[in-house]
Chains A and B, each alone.
Chain A
Amino acid sequence: MDVIEASNIVKRFGELEAVKGVSFSVKEGEIFGFLGPNGAGKTTTINILCTLLRPTAGQAKVNGHDVIKERSQVRQSIGLVFQEPTLDDYLTAEQNLRFHGYAYGVPRDVLEPRLKELLEMMELWDRRKGKISTYSGGMKRRLEIARGLLHHPRVLFLDEPTLGLDPQTRRRIWDYIHDLRKRENLAIFMTTHYMDEAENCDRIAIIDYGQTVALDTLEKLKDGVGGDVISVKTEDNEEAVRLLEGQYKFKPGIENGIISFTVSHGEEFLPQFVSGFPLRLLSIGLRRPTLEDVFLKLTGRNIREQEVDSMQQMKNMARMRRH
């Protein structure tokens, strides 16, 4: 069963067309990654799916409910964790969760055991009576995930769930997410900027300039790059590039003095290339393509390279520290 069905979503803000007809579906129990450079339309799409924005055109259903006509059923079926914290700093962790439980109409006899279960899972049970203002960034994020799950949603939206967190906390949050999916057959819809994190997804949609440019499993996306990535360093890189383009008909790229290009069946290609190449090779390597290569090929951009990105991240971190 599909818990999210989006068909041809369009969102215009005046002149600007932020989303230009995005379609996809998310299955029950699936971890679905939504990737794209900043300003590609990711947040707009999420806001449409969680009823914060109305689409200009197109249709979307979450858990079988229309996001325009059945907003409150949609809201009841989803849990959300935003990039920026949305907790009440003046209340304790427990009070924040209870507020959420009351707001979503969770019956009292369900609420208390559920609250305990989630706080224990997120390792926050001992700190449940602590005010949020005393929580660290990682604790806040874990609490928000717990809160998003309190009312037994069918889909959990995670917008950059580990942004600004240290590697250890990131790994732990990922352990919880996998655990959750197993326990509750929950679908997870997430955005991230971390390529290594996207590897946790069952399927990935890459969106650029408001359009889906790819949607597949990670393996298939990598295959789409065209086999294996060969990287070589030679005594004369310029000449090597010329040779690779002319004689071998590759499309080599050069970065930090290393030339890389893709070939199918890299293992078989390698010995024959080494013996036949006229220039002296200083080093040669072969690797499977990463999501980074996929991204670069499809959008022509490196996902983290933009200036805006790091600025945004600094802002987020400053924000988290302030709280």
Chain B
Amino acid sequence: MAIVFRSIWVIAYRELLRFVQDRPRMFSSFSMPIIFLIIFGAGFGRLIGQMMPGVDYIQFMYPGILAMTVLMTSVMSGVSIVWDREFGFLKEVLVSPLSRSGVLVGKAVGAATIAIIQGAIMLVLAPIVNVPINLGTVLALLPLLLILSLSLSGLGLLIGARMRSQQGFQIVMQLVIFPMMFLSGIFFPVSGVATWLAVLSKLNPVTYGIDAIRQVFLGAEVAGVTVFGHTMGIVDSAIVVAMVGVVLLTTAIWVFNRQE
């Protein structure tokens, strides 16, 4: 058991070390969410007006953008495995006494830590876009972001567990991650859309993460996901995300252990 813990911290430590050394990557995971926030906010903001009483479009979108930063960073943990495999470093890890399950969990923990740091930086934007923020909000966000990023790292690692080239990973990213992003209720409420769209959104774990984050910022009135007639609260959504995450991460570990 000691070896599993050692594997987790050693791998997470290295992910953080790399993150600090690799400035471009740090900025690249911010760029897209911020671009969306500015352009969509400016483009649709006036057209749409109020989304719901007291909530304008940019306020509605902001919690989703925060989640999107976490999504991008977490899924990148998967590309880091592909990267390590391509550049040989994975071999150093595989011949070491580290446990393979521990290695994967370590990657997820590393990615989650980075995601939370980036999420925290995104919080600076909250006052600028008129989203209320206080210590209570931040404390409530922390566990939510942690659960969301661990689960999504599970997804990234599952994609990366077997993949041999970064090009392959990019393709999967575009086929899986972009639809997930657009079907998650970042840009429009998932209630009140065509049934097929609502069904797809409700199958998407990110939807629950975003809805929970939105409720933390803007109150329970903005809750927008109902499953079998039950309106999902913050805790309900967190449980869904955590369960999906456990499944994804376990599958990723299984796939990773079976290879080589």
Contacts and interface: CB of A to CB of B under 8 A. Distances in A.
B18 A72 contact: no
A184 interface: no
Interface in B8-24: 10, 13-14, 17-18, 21-22
Chain A at the B interface: SS class = loop
Name the interface size band of chain B: 20 to 34
Contact of A102 (B6, B18, B21, B91): B6
B89 A88 contact: yes
A91 B10 CA distance: 14
Interface in A41-59: 50-53
B95 A80 contact: yes
A95 B97 contact: no
A90 B97 contact: no
B92 interface: yes
Contact of A89 (B13, B87, B260): B87
B96 interface: yes
A88 B95 contact: no
A103 B22 contact: no
Contact of B97 (A52, A104, A147): A104
A85 B88 contact: yes
A23 interface: no
A170 interface: no
Contacts of A89: 87
Contact of A91 (B6, B21, B91): B21
A90 B96 contact: no
Q: Determine the main DSSP class of B at the interface with A.
A: helix
A234 interface: no
Contacts of B84: 88
A91 B87 CA distance: 13
Given A86-B88, A99-B14, A52 B96 contact: no
Nearest to A323: B87
A95 to B, nearest CB: 6
A95 B89 CA distance: 13
A84 interface: yes
A147 B92 CA distance: 10
B126 interface: no
Contact of B92 (A53, A86, A95, A102): A86
15 contacts: A52-B91, A52-B260, A53-B260, A72-B97, A80-B95, A85-B87, A86-B88, A86-B91, A87-B89, A88-B14, A90-B21, A102-B10, A103-B98, A105-B97, A323-B87
The 6 A-B pairs of least Cβ separation, nearest first, read A86-B88, A86-B92, A72-B97, A103-B96, A75-B97, A86-B91
Interface of B: 3, 6-7, 10, 13-14, 17-18, 21-22, 84, 87-98, 260
Given A52-B95, A84-B88, A86-B90, 19 more contacts: A51-B95, A52-B91, A53-B260, A76-B97, A78-B95, A86-B88, A87-B92, A88-B14, A88-B84, A88-B89, A89-B87, A90-B18, A91-B21, A102-B10, A102-B13, A103-B10, A104-B97, A105-B97, A147-B92
Interface of A: 50-53, 72, 75-76, 78, 80, 82, 84-91, 95, 99-100, 102-105, 131, 147, 323
